[in-house]
Amino acid sequence: MARANEEVEALLQEYADLIAITGGDAYKARAYEKAARAIGGHPGDVSTLDAKGLLDIPNVGRSIADKVLEFLRTGHVTALEETRADIPAGVRELITIPTLGPKKAMTLHEELGVASVEELLDAIHEERLRGLKGFGEKTEANILHGIALMQHAGGGRILLSSAMDVADLVVAALSAVPGCEGCAYAGSLRRMRETIGDVDVLVAAERSAPFMEAFTALPHTAEVIAHGEKKTSIRTTKGLQVDLRVLPPDSWGAGLLYFTGSKAHNIRVREIAVRQKLKLSEYGLFHAKSGKKIVSETEEEVYARLGLPWIAPTLREDRGEIAAGLRDELPDLVEESDIRGDLHTHTDLTDGLASLEDMVTAAAARGYAYYAVTDHAPDLYMQRMTDAKMLAQRERVRALDAKHRRMRLLHGTELNIGPDGSLDWPDEFLAGFDLCVASVHSHFNQSREELTRRLVRACENPYVGIIGHPTTRRIGKRPRIDADFDAVFAACARTGTALEVNAHPERLDLGDEDILRAKRHGVKFAVNTDAHSVTHLPYMRYGVGTAQRAWLTKDDVINTWPLQKLRRFLRPRTR
């Protein structure tokens, strides 16, 4: 995403929160929130737009456009700064606690004088929230959990996509420096972990100085933490640490292997080296006794000399990949290029930001063979879906389908799994869709039994093909629901219902460990972006990375299959 879009999105969202916290017009707060999302999801760089261009973005009106222009011109928004000044910094901090909305933050401030996270913790422990209207014991537990999540995030780990954006920029900039013989990111990012501690970038070059200079001079560098010949570390304006290491070109393979990790994987690989009387370091593979170098130029060579095939970075977590490699039984992992279509996407008919036509055009540009439009169903009230709207969309989808030669369009919906496991529409209406995704969007705090029964009932509906974002977690923001997922996975296997691997970097749901467990039950998966704008379609890479971390192959992933086979899988059965 363009950096300006992201900054404007954050500013407008903050303004919306501040309006809410000061008891301002709720309608106005919502308008700013909508505009924030629209700009965040806008495919072009907003810093290149004039007033007219801004007004063309949905949900951006005159006064919002003026504020955006002011920000782009001056770097600040007067109205926002005035509102900020009205509110103690600690109270502003309160609204950043996930699970605590602006309204509750304001109550805490007004009723109890709470003006910081610290004071809020004290108030909870002194049971002072107990007397407040709207604050039950459950709310307390949620707030505590939210603070833990926030402090965990503050403990330094950031979303995979945020780290990837920075790494892509750094790699592009350093690759352009004369003398660069190789440049790549390594570490947890190359392994596609769901959160990233710091970004590790490697360069192969004879001389390191020009790269270290270029690195510290990058526009998003806020602070140089350490500046050395072999390694330089910076912190970006957003607080993310990036380490750059420059390696001699002939030790590229050994260095890439070492700095990709994981540490646990490296230890296993070194054990094999030691057994063969060899020594492995970031500089190469050596004879232990003579110290003579054997190989170091590529990862393949290093692995091969140890009797191993090349192991994909996403597998390098010491989850049995070494043993499988020694037996030559590594899985043939699913790749992004294997994905033939996206099966969970939205348009502006509900809460998506782009029109059906724009989403479909962007999907076709990705070379998909099929693409499903799955807007929200009526039980998510704020989306105001009706039967008539859905049927009218179907007509548009069918017409568009006829216009595309290479890509088939499926008309689907994302159903809401109600508190009792029921769905938005009766079976007769569901039968009209090519595909139904069913997801939990409310009542996250039911008992474990209720949540389990609810998900199992959804699987048992013959028209439900995929369970969307099954745990409903939002990384760093919302915990997973407490269901017996082994029971849910078993139900999916029994009913032939696929589980989603939601590729949105804030969800990655299911995550790798759940996928591994589900696969043991014999479940199939669908890797989907849940795109709400054209800029979300490329999130597919994060979903595929997560699937790889769980050892999935093409056979496991229904949206790598040819359309006919997919349709057979989705066909309603008597389950």
Region from 219-227, 231-239, 435-443, 499-507 binding Zn ion, contact rule CB under 5 A: 435-443
Q: Does 259 bind ligand DGT (CB under 6 A)?
A: yes
In the complex, least distance from residue 184 CB atom to ligand DGT, rounded to whole angstroms: 13
Positions in 168-207 near ligand DGT (CB under 6 A) = 187-188, 193, 196-198, 200
To ligand DGT, the closest distance from the beta carbon of 324 in angstroms equals 20
How many residues interact with ligand DGT (rule CB under 6 A)?
Answer: 14
Q: Cα separations (Å) of 414 from 87, 316, 428, 474?
A: 40, 35, 16, 18
Give one DSSP letter per residue of 78-116, joined into a string.
HHHHHHHHTS-HHHHHHTTSTT--HHHHHHHHHHH---S
Which residue(s) pair with 158 in the sheet? Answer: 196
Torsion of CA 501, 336, 496, 509, to 10 degrees: 0
Subset of 320-359 contacting Ca ion (CB under 5 A) = none
| 412 phi and psi angles, rounded to 5 deg | -130, -170
User: With binding defined as CB under 5 A, does residue 313 bind Ca ion?
Assistant: no
Q: How far is the CB of 269 from Ca ion (least distance, A)?
A: 18
Mark the segment that binds Ca ion (CB under 5 A) among 88-96, 167-175, 194-202, 423-431.
194-202
Rounded least distance, CB 200 to Ca ion, Å: 5
User: Taking CB positions, which residue lies at the least distance from ligand DGT?
Assistant: 261
Q: Of the ranges 102-110, 242-250, 274-282, 433-441, which one interacts with Zn ion (CB under 5 A)?
A: 433-441
Site string for Zn ion, 436-455 (x = CB under 5 A): ---x----------------
Indicate the residue among 7 and 200 with the shorter CB distance to Ca ion.
Answer: 200
Does residue 200 bind Ca ion (CB under 5 A)? Answer: yes
Q: Does 266 bind ligand DGT (CB under 6 A)?
A: yes
Q: In this structure, what token pair is assigned to residue 91?
A: 């109270």
Contact between 528 and Zn ion per CB under 5 A: no
Structure tokens at 135: 């604050």
Q: How far is the CB of 472 from Zn ion (least distance, A)?
A: 8
Q: Which is nearer to Ca ion, 191 or 279 (CB)?
A: 191
Please give, one letter per residue, the 3-state secondary structure of 356-412: HHHHHHHHHHCCCCEEEEEEECCCCHHHCCCHHHHHHHHHHHHHHHHHCCCCEEEEE
What is the 8-class DSSP label of residue 480?
P
Nearer to ligand DGT, 262 or 276 (CB): 262
278 alpha carbon, distance to own chain's centre: 40
Count CB atoms within 10 A of the CB of residue 136.
Answer: 11
Site string for ligand DGT, 134-173 (x = CB under 6 A): ----------------------------------------
The Cα 307–Cα 310 span in angstroms is 10
The least CB distance from residue 426 to ligand DGT, in Å, is 48
Identified binder of ligand DGT from the candidate list 263, 275, 289, 406, rule CB under 6 A: 263
| C-alpha distances in Å from residue 142, one per residue of 17, 99, 103, 249 | 19, 6, 15, 51
Q: Return the structure tokens found at 302.
A: 């290093």
Burial category of 19 from C-beta neighbours within 10 Å (exposed 0-12, middle 13-18, buried 19 and up):
buried
- 115-123 LR contacts (CB < 8 Å, sep 24+): 115/88, 115/90, 115/91, 116/90, 117/90, 117/93, 117/147, 117/150, 119/90, 120/94, 120/147, 121/147
Which residue, 258 or 370, has its beta carbon nearer to ligand DGT? 258
Kindly state whether residue 187 participates in binding Ca ion, applying the rule CB under 5 A.
yes
Distance CA 308, CA 313 (A): 14
Q: Of Ca ion, ligand DGT, Zn ion, none, which one does residue 41 interact with (CB within 5 to 8 Å by kind)?
A: none
User: Which entry of ligand DGT, Zn ion, Ca ion, none binds 262, CB below 5 to 8 A by partner kind?
Assistant: ligand DGT
Residue 450, beta-bridge partner list: none
Which of 262, 276, 281, 442: binder of ligand DGT (CB under 6 A)?
A: 262
Residue 68's identity, in one-letter code, is: V
First CA to last CA distance, the chain: 43
Q: Give the span between the Cα atoms of 388 and 296, in whole angstroms.
A: 64
E strands along 186-237, which residues?
A: 195-196, 199-204, 221-227, 231-236
CA distances from 120 to 107, 143, 380 (A): 12, 9, 32
**Which residue among 7, 9, 194, 243 contacts Ca ion (CB under 5 A)?**
243
Find the binding residues for Ca ion in span 423-442 (CB under 5 A). none
Binding partner at 350 among ligand DGT, Zn ion, Ca ion, none, C-beta below 5 to 8 Å by kind:
none
Between 198 and 460, name the residue whose CB sits nearer to Ca ion: 198
Query: Rounded to the nearest whole angstrom, what is the least distance from the CB of residue 188 to Ca ion in the complex?
Result: 5
Q: Is 506 in the site for Ca ion (CB under 5 A)?
A: no
For the bound state, the minimum distance from the C-beta of residue 502 to Zn ion, rounded and expressed in Å, comes to 8
Measured from the CB of residue 197, what is the shortest distance to Ca ion in angstroms?
A: 5
Q: Which residues bind ligand DGT (CB under 6 A)?
A: 187-188, 193, 196-198, 200, 258-259, 261-263, 266-267
In the complex, which residues of this chain contact Zn ion (CB under 5 A)?
Answer: 439
Residues that bind Ca ion (CB under 5 A): 187-188, 198, 200, 243
